[in-house]
Amino acid sequence: MKFIPYGKQHIDNKDVKVVSDALKKEFITTGDEVVKFEKKINKFLNSKFSFTCNSGTSALFLALQSIEVKKNDIIIMPAINFIASHNVAKIFNAKIYLADVDKYSGQMSPKNVIDICTKFKIKKIKAIITMYNGGYPINAENFKSLKKQYNCYIIEDACHALGASYKNNKKNIRIGSCTHSDISTFSLHPLKTITTGEGGIVTTNSKKLGEKIKKLRSLGIKKNNAKHWKYDIKYIGFNFRLNDFQCALGTNQIAKISKFISYRRKVFKNYQKLLNNLKDINLPKHNSSYQSAHHLFIITLKKPNFIKKENLIKFMFKNKILLQYHYIPIYKFKIFHGKFINKNSETYYKSAVSLPIYYGLTYKQQVYIVKKIKEFFKKN
């Protein structure tokens, strides 16, 4: 059995061809392919404004910069998340509060936000950054109720959730449509649903925020359309642009997103059946109120034990299978300066492990993965 990663990109011959064709064009930076890809994103997500950038982290940076986060502004985010959201907020010298999460899904709920506001007597928030761990849009529509209560922005860190949706009044609402948020951000990293090599997306329905984001991703430049050579600098921005050949790849990838997610859903269902009788673990739950992007398949130990979790990961690696952490709580890093040791976040950290899931993972490979997991628990 060859080594099985926990995730990987799928690049076919047509992907290679569209990138090659784009590279042969005279203009390969921000040109027609960028415009084309952004239109495809808008159509797929049903958002009014979409902007590509060079990473999911850059997308988060643009989101916070566009709402003008200042020193000591309060931002609340889940303790379980990739470090990018924390680092971006830290750059703006914001006060970061880490909310606890559900011990099974690793996701923050509106109640977790209210609990931390009550604990620290917080009356006003600049922004709440939500995160759909593994691609499951749990509580997606419920955070909007906090917007008026705390006079804040709702920003979706949807890097796991491109293609996910939830039901509202029997309608399917895409994550990224900003129906219940101000801004959504996505990653186009190779391990995500679709890829442009590296890349990110920012979406919003606000014309004001959209115009600002468009300028900020390109050094804050405001061009004079009448005189193409003349421009002014309206904001202090950076070069976060994605180029034409990456966007050519993105356009071809997004055309296959339904196929990718459908395949991941099949992998999800296979795991559910193959692991159903294993009493040592909890399986991820899924209900009819939302459609997951199935970015991750996360199991949790019924008896949280960090050493046992580590031993499982080591055992699987010896058998050529890579499992992964998602995630180490942000408050455990040396860079974080705060006292947030959240009960459920600790439980989740001690018990959660991601199994391989990606387009192209075969049923035979899944059978082997599950066989080795069962072998570990039989011995331990």
Q: Report pLDDT for 227.
A: 62
Q: How far apart are CA 282 and CA 43, in angstroms?
A: 37
Residue 353 pLDDT > 80: yes
> Is 246 buried (19+), middle (13-18) or exposed (0-12) by CB count in 10 A?
buried
Residue 219 near residue 237 (C-beta atoms within 8 A) = yes
Range(s) of the chain covered by CATH 3.40.640.10: 13-254
Q: How far apart are CA 367 and CA 363, in angstroms?
A: 6
Quickly count: other Cβ atoms within 10 Å of residue 240's Cβ.
23
Digit-coded pLDDT (tens) for 65-79: 999 999 999 999 999
Mean pLDDT throughout 203-210?
98
Which CATH architecture fits 13-254?
3-Layer(aba) Sandwich (3.40)
Quickly count: other Cβ atoms within 10 Å of residue 356's Cβ.
22
Digit-coded pLDDT (tens) for 106-130: 999 999 999 999 999 999 999 999 9
Q: Cis peptide before 325, with omega less than 30 degrees from 0?
A: no
Residue 101 near residue 108 (C-beta atoms within 8 A) = yes
The Cα-based distances of 379 to 92, 195, 199, 312, 374 in angstroms read: 49, 39, 43, 11, 9
Range(s) of the chain covered by CATH 3.90.1150.10: 257-379
Q: How far apart are CA 244 and CA 37, in angstroms?
A: 9
User: What would the CATH number be for the domain defined by 257-379?
Assistant: 3.90.1150.10
Q: Report pLDDT for 199.
A: 98
Q: Where are the alpha helices (DSSP H) in the chain?
A: 13-23, 32-45, 56-66, 84-91, 110-119, 144-150, 207-216, 244-254, 257-274, 306-318, 343-351, 363-379
What is the separation of C-alpha 48 from the centre of its chain, rounded to a whole number of angstroms?
A: 20
Residue 54 near residue 197 (C-beta atoms within 8 A) = no
> Hey, CA dihedral for 5, 7, 12, 17, is it positive or negative?
negative
Q: What contacts 264, CB < 8 A, 6 or more positions away?
A: 193, 293, 294, 295, 357, 358, 359
Model pTM above 0.85: yes
Residue 349 pLDDT > 80: yes
Task: Tell me which amino acid residue 175 is.
Answer: I
Nearest to 350 by CA among 313, 301, 280: 301
Mean pLDDT throughout 174-202?
97
Q: How far apart are CA 32 and CA 172, in angstroms?
A: 31
Q: What percent of the chain has pLDDT over 70?
A: 98
The Cα-based distances of 146 to 117, 149, 151, 154 in angstroms read: 11, 5, 8, 9
User: Rg of the chain's alpha carbons, rounded to an integer?
Assistant: 21
Q: Which of 83-90's residues contact partners 24+ apart within 8 Å by CB, and which partners?
A: 83/330, 83/333, 83/335, 84/56, 84/57, 84/60, 84/157, 85/60, 85/129, 85/131, 85/157, 86/330, 86/335, 86/336, 87/57, 87/335, 88/57, 88/60, 88/61, 88/64, 89/64, 89/129, 90/335
Q: How far apart are CA 297 and CA 285, in angstroms?
A: 10
Q: Whole-number mean pLDDT of the chain?
A: 95
Mean pLDDT throughout 333-347?
85
Quickly count: other Cβ atoms within 10 Å of residue 333's Cβ.
12
* pLDDT band per the 50, 70, 90 thresholds, residue 1: confident
Quickly count: other Cβ atoms within 10 Å of residue 107's Cβ.
21
